[in-house]
Structure 1
């Protein structure tokens, strides 16, 4: 039985690796064509080599997104080929019953799920940060539209609204604005700083213009205007939180997303979009388990010649539909304010029901 499992593992791993390589090569071509439009821009300082490096650094994110699909395609191809060559029939007569076959593919799916999690949580975020640094050095700092990133923080009874216009690759913030309010909603201070850097216990700002407001018993507020070269603002807002408001949450690690969601919830901000993405990060690797179970019934089909191409095409369509369903439920959950975990888990649950139904009908009952 160990020999049979090793054989299946090897064949599936080779098939999934080939399918992943083919899809990544296709995405690499599309990304490179899109990036070639910027070569020579930025004063001619964006060479082809830099564009190639940027595109290469973006590929781990594509691998993470494609793995459940390629796992389905590769496993379907192997199972259909084993059935066509009667190899799977021999395995069944050698003692590999339906439950042992299911356990074999579940172990395989668990390995793929672990790899998917490792790529999506460690390799892809680091690679995306490196890609952003490469691009920022050519086209300027990270920014979210014309207004930049907005964050909130509660410090005791006082509330602060913070705006960062742009973030440099080395962590330098540009165009920092801070607005402080007391418990009654009165403005305590406004701060405009040209630059800022992160510190262990706050931000070190330079080129600072501060307006400090005093609210005496009378209705006349008093304003003190201060111009300072440097000023330290104690805050718990970390570089990861600022980057999170500027970057796509799909490209963040699970722990970073979790900390950012807690920060948003603690300060009364909407975290629906980031909660859905957080749960998506949790459930997405587990979809590899669903895909291998969905492919198992193909080993029990009876055909002698041809037909593999049709089944592989069906696997491609099923994989694409799963990818689209993930996006649809993510957008719908954000718009309709659905439960975040349900929005993220629904596609996997739907395909789990389909895979178990196919396994029950084609394997256990036939």
Structure 2
């Protein structure tokens, strides 16, 4: 069995590594082309420095872990289909079957390798990719002015005794400074008590305050008049941390699983909608398991015959299956968000569907043919 495992795993690992390397090279080339338009842009932190080709290559290199995380399942599918089909084409898999490699043993053999791929995908997606993505954004922000989402930036909400505050931060500067801060304080009846606008600020986590600069403050305590004041500095008590703000400025799919869970808890505590982030949380949990689904999808190709069609046709079929899986996975996520489905159902349904289809195809090929 050790010899069989060495043969099958060696073929699959080699094929997957080759496919993954090819995909990473292709997508890195596309990323580099996108970065060429920014060459020559001046740095905001280091006067005199400009965005060079070396900076573009560094930015592309920092995006590689995220690309690897995204491409791993489809690379596993294509590589496994190629490896198993090649073994079948050379009659090596037929020899293994006549030597005692039954369907159940073959399924268990590739499933164990799929678990290994899933662990690697989880480690990269939960530890390496979020850190690298954050560094890439901070690095690029030196030449673009800050990290932001859309036109208005990040919105957060914080509840306190008798009041609740809506917080808007337009962007996060490369040095960690907050830019374009707006605070709206409401009472229990939903009436505005005061608004605060600040050009910039920083978070002092130890003191539990936001240190705001160039502040314009409006109070509505007196219904007859509005009190306006301009302050050079203002310490605003807040429990919102820098990590929480950074999480809000990152795309949900780029967050760590723990950060997503904590952010969902924060949104629930402040009575904000969590559907989108809950779906992304469950997708982060189920996405590595798609590697197991991919190797199970590839296993029926080892039981096909190659008299009429060549190896390339089966590899192309594997690519189409992989693309369809990711399309269905994405569509289920959007539909689940729009229709208010259970987050775990919207995230798990595509993997469960394709697992059943692959097991059905495997059973039909083995038992009926």
TM range (shorter): over 0.9
Q: Check the 8 A contact 1:116/1:285 in 2, yes or no.
A: yes
Matched residue pairs, number? 362
What SS does the aligned partner of 2:110 have? helix
- Confirm or deny: 8 A CA contact 1:136 1:168 kept in the other structure: yes
Contact 1:98 1:364 in 2 (8 A): no
* Counterpart in the other structure of 2:214: 207
| Aligned partner of residue 288 in structure 2, secondary structure | coil
1:102 Cα deviation after fit: 0.9
Instruction: Verify: 1:141 aligned to 2:146, yes or no.
Output: yes
Does the Cα contact within 8 Å between 1:297 and 1:362 map onto a contact in 2? yes
Note the 1:293-332 alignment, pairs <5 A: 293-303=296-306, 307-332=310-335
The equivalent residue for 1:184 is 189
Check if 1:79 corresponds to 2:63: no
Matches within 5 A, 1:37-52: 37-42=37-42, 45-52=50-57
Partner of 1:161: 166
User: How far apart are the structure 1 equivalents of 2:338 and 2:156?
Assistant: 21
- TM-score (normalizing by structure 1): 0.93
Gaps of 5+ in 1: none
Q: Which moved more, 1:324-333 or 1:225-234?
A: 225-234
Which of 332, 344, 348 is 1:341 aligned to?
Answer: 344
Aligned to 1:16: 16
TM-align CA RMSD: 1.9
1:313-366 CA distance string (max 9 Å, x none): 111111111111122112222222222212111211111111110111112343
Separation in 1 of the partners of 2:76 and 2:16? 5
- Check the 8 A contact 1:85/1:304 in 2, yes or no: no
- Give the distance between the partners of 1:76 and 1:258, measured in 2 at CA: 35
1:212-251 to 2 correspondences below 5 Å = 212-214=219-221, 220=223, 223-251=226-254
- Look up the SS of the partner of 2:260 in the other structure: helix
SS of residue paired to 1:320: helix
Q: Write out aligned runs for 1:80-159 (5 A).
A: 80-159=85-164
Q: Deviations over 1:243-274 (max 9, x none)?
A: 23322211111111111111112212222211
**CA distance in 2: counterparts of 1:169 and 1:341, whole angstroms:** 35
**Stretch moving more, 185-194 or 272-281:** 185-194
Summarize deviations over 1:260-301 as a string: whole Å, max 9, x none.
Answer: 111112212222211111111011110111111111111122
Q: Deviations over 1:91-120 (max 9, x none)?
A: 122222111111111100000000111111
Structure 2 gap ranges (5+): 44-48
Please name the residue that 1:262 is paired with: 265
Q: Cα offset for 1:231? A: 2.5
CA-CA distance at 1:40 after TM superposition? 2.4
Distance 1:146 1:130, change over 3 A: same
- Structure 1 residues 63-84: Cα deviation after superposition (integer angstroms, max 9, x where no partner): 1111111101111111111111
